[in-house]
A and B are shown apart, each in its own frame.
Chain A
Amino acid sequence: MTDGVLRVIDAGRVGPTRSQSLWHGIAAAMEPDSSPTLSFCRPARPYVGIGFHRRLDELDLEACRAERLPILRRQIGGGPVYLDSDQLFFQLTMPAGRAPAGVDRLYALLLEPAAAALRALGIDARVDGMNDIAVGDRKLSGTGAGQVGGGVTVVGNVIFRFPHERMARVLAFPREDMRAECLRLMRRYVSSLADEGFGHVDEDQAKAALRESYASALGLRPVDGALDERELAAVGRWQRRLRSREWLLGPDLPARTVRQVKVRAGVWTFAGGDDGLSVLATVVGGRFERVSVAGAGLNGAADGMSVALAGAEAEPVALAGRLERFGDHGRKLLQVLEPGLVLR
């Protein structure tokens, strides 16, 4: 920022690993006086990305193999995502010492320009919640952020088209009706430029809008750039790291008692069970939209509990009130539900 420049690097179409190592390397090589950098790339082939703190068993590894989808772990957060050439990736990276303090403020500063760029293209996009870019109640861009070395990066994508079915195929589910529910939610709440009637917007238009918007928001002059030697070396190191089995396996994380898939801010589905009782539930806007309880030992209470929970606030005290009249069955169900209320 000292030179008033927003460096813009367009890597074009690149392989899956390069589409991740590019910005990891830019961030890793960033020094305190480096210029903020806006980078673009588009994966030439489809693959699956997974957040740093996620277990690989959230993915159906057999399905990924069958579909020949490489899996790459990123050093930012969020869950597994399907990525392909119908998405333009963008990343804004700046020295960690100059990034806004506070994660919510970081997103506010560095995602709003992306939403503004989409608006400049005629799409009624806005930042929704802390870090979704949405049209109405539909998510239009996946985002995430992290600090890699000396750089803080906020990443996002412009989704031209999205294959919901393929995404649902690569996720692992403990039961097939959860896959169907996840697909229903994705179709409902994950959109694309094509789905919104903007299929005519092309990559160059999107890049130009993002470049203009970020430069304007940061008060910087956009200047085309290229990776320097330090960055190339860092990209190379990340290329090797991302391909290593150790990195792919990720940190040793405890298994959760529920399988949970977040579809967008405030929308998630989860399945859990214990001691013969099983539940599949969907939360939308803080309330249970759908609940299905089953269990051989419930003596006919399953349907009653499902009905009692429909529309309930997804919060332990509220649920306890709804389940009180079911006695031990209700208390047991609450224990199964509670871990699913905590979004990870």
Chain B
Amino acid sequence: MATEQVFEVKGYTLSADRLYDPVTHLWVEPRHDDLVRIGFDPLGRETLGDVVQVTFEAVGITVRRGEPFGSIEAAKFVGPLVAPLSGALRAHNEALLADPGLLNDDPSAHWLVELEPANGVELEGLLQGEAAVAPWFATEVDRYRSQGAIAE
């Protein structure tokens, strides 16, 4: 089993093998079967607070980038889960539906949905690799810290 390559940015652990969407703060992990898994990056999760519930659109439905593929609740705030890619939903993470609190422990370990991307163009628009991800993520950490959205 291959070991996941990770790197640190200002105290947060990110994966060199995943793509990151700077708009939604979600990661996208390409799979060998033409599907991708989608999950929260550490900032996306931390700014939400403690997650108490997630729900997803039905498997089989097609979503477009920028549109909701589900919803999430933390501290009585309900927000949309916004798709970083267009495509067809192929699976939900049933473990998360049963125990949404898993996301609070480690968002990198728990995917939300599996999606079959509609095209490769949108994938190319995401950030991948330490050289591309680290500067963006460092700027985001600084921005959130300056706003008081995350701890110093």
Chains A and B belong together in one complex: yes
**B55: shortest Cβ distance to chain A, in Å?**
4
* Cβ contact of A254, chosen from B74, B80, B98, cutoff 8 A: B98
Pairwise interchain contact B76-A145, C-beta atoms closer than 8 A: yes
**B97: shortest Cβ distance to chain A, in Å?**
6
Separation of A253 and B74 alpha carbons in the complex (Å): 16
Pairwise interchain contact B49-A103, C-beta atoms closer than 8 A: yes
Q: Does A121 contact B (CB under 8 A)?
A: no
4 tightest CB-CB pairs across the interface, nearest first? A102-B149, A77-B76, A53-B53, A146-B78
Chain B interface bracket (under 10, 10 to 19, 20 to 34, 35 or more): 20 to 34
Interface of chain A: mostly helix, strand, loop or mixed = loop
Binds B, one of A11-19, A104-112, A277-285: A104-112
Separation of A145 and B75 alpha carbons in the complex (Å): 9
Number of interface residues of A (CB under 8 A): 29
In chain B between 25 and 60, which residues have their CB closer than 8 angstroms to a CB of chain A? 47-49, 52-53, 55
- A to B CB contacts below 8 Å, 20 in the list: A51-B78, A52-B71, A52-B73, A53-B78, A76-B77, A77-B52, A77-B75, A77-B76, A77-B78, A101-B143, A103-B47, A103-B49, A107-B77, A130-B49, A144-B77, A145-B77, A146-B77, A146-B78, A252-B55, A254-B97
Pairwise interchain contact A101-B147, C-beta atoms closer than 8 A: yes
Separation of A344 and B148 alpha carbons in the complex (Å): 25
- Residues of chain B within 8 A (CB-CB) of A147 are 78-80
Instruction: List residues of A whose CB falls within 8 A of some B CB.
Output: 51-53, 75-78, 100-107, 130-131, 143-147, 251-254, 342-344
Separation of A343 and B73 alpha carbons in the complex (Å): 12
